Structure 1
Amino acid sequence: MRIWSLHPQHLDRQALIACWRETLLAQAVIAGRTRGYRNHPQLERFVATPQPIVYVGAYLAGLAVEADARGYRFDRTRIDELPADLAAFDGAMEVTTGQLALEWRHLLAKLDARSPDVAAVQRERVGDGVPGVHPMFRVVEGPVASWERAV
């Protein structure tokens, strides 16, 4: 399961669709509709929020906005709780600089393997700077997240 902290604009088609599906799975786990993946480390940051289902819904909404921009149709009726004021979730969760750097390297390696043209565009877009983050995250200084298992 990979629920990216990176802005969905950086994801290729495969990663965006996989992130949508995997976050729907995360939503089902948090809602208690499935017994698998209950202890998956990627869920920790959502479970730690005051309203995990609402936070997952806000995350899914951010993915759906990017899908719309690309002409895809993600079924928003699959979101259990869509926040009434999505803007209220802008920057609602933290992501560390270390986590962001790890995810960026991980994504670029995946893109190099399956979508080299997209990888080149993303490298050009970001250059030596910091990639954008999903709208519900704000960047803070720090190491790779304690829940991360990709290291």
Structure 2
Amino acid sequence: MRLWSLDPALLDRQGLAACWREALLAQAVLLGRTAGYTAHPQLERFRAHPDPTAAISAYLHGVRDEATRRGYRFDAERISRPLDPSTRDARIVVTSGQLDLEWQHLLRKLAVRSPAHRAKITSVDISAGSPAAHPLFAVVPGGVASWERVRS
């Protein structure tokens, strides 16, 4: 499961669809509707949110908004809650180090799967800092998140 901290606009078609499916699975876990993936480390940050189901719903809305912008039809009825504007006030913190790690991971995936999309997103200047984050996340300085399972 990869719940990207990156802005969904950075994902290619396959990545956006996979993110949608995996976030729906995360929603099912947080709602207690499945026995699998309950201990997945990426869920820690959603569980730490004051309202985990509102947080995963906001995450899904962000992914769906990007899909809609691209002309895809991701079914909003599958999101357990409507977008709650108050969730924006209780954003989830993500570190710049985590974003950088995910950015490099995405670039490696895209080099093989979608070189044209990789070229498109790397032409955007991120020299001012980390790449853009999903709207649910507030970026702060720091290293890789404790829940991330880094492979050498």
Shorter-chain TM band = over 0.9
Matched to 2:49, the amino acid is: T
* Structure-1 residue corresponding to 2:141: 141
Contact 1:90 1:135 in 2 (8 A): no
SS at match of 2:123: helix
| CA spacing shift, 1:50–1:128, aligned 2, 3 Å | same
1:128 and 2:127 correspond: yes
Question: Equivalences for 1:99-138 in 2 at 5 Å?
Answer: 99-129=98-128, 130-138=130-138
Structure 2: segments with no counterpart, 5+ residues: none
CA RMSD between the two structures: 1.4
Distance, in Å, in 1 between the alignment partners of 2:90 and 2:54 is: 14
Task: Report the counterpart of residue 54 of structure 1 in structure 2.
Answer: 54
Q: Deviations over 1:44-102 (max 9, x none)?
A: 0001111101100000000111001000011010111123327x516711110110000
Aligned to 1:80: 80
Q: Aligned partner of 2:118: which letter?
A: A
- Whether contact under 8 Å (1:90, 1:136) holds in the other structure is no
CA distance in structure 2 between the aligned counterparts of 1:65 and 1:39, rounded to whole angstroms: 28
SS in 2 for 1:126: coil
Q: Partners in 1 of 2:90 and 2:14 — Cα distance?
A: 25
> Which deviates the most, 19-28 or 73-82?
73-82
Contact 1:6 / 1:133 at 8 angstroms: preserved in 2? yes
> What TM-score, normalized by structure 1, do the two folds share?
0.94
Q: Segments of 4+ in structure 1 off by > 4 A?
A: none
Deviation digits for residues 23-47 of structure 1 (CA, Å, limit 9, x no counterpart) = 0000001110000000000100001
Tell me the SS of whatever aligns to 1:82: coil
Q: Report 1:18-29 matches (<5 A).
A: 18-29=18-29
C-alpha separation in 2, matches of 1:91 and 1:119: 32
Whole-angstrom CA distance in 2 between matches of 1:85 and 1:138? 15
Question: Which segments of 5 or more consecutive residues in structure 1 lack a partner in the other structure?
Answer: none
Other-structure match for 2:67: 67
Distance in 2 separating the partners of 1:14 and 1:79: 20
| C-alpha distance in structure 2 between counterparts of 1:73 and 1:42, whole Å | 26
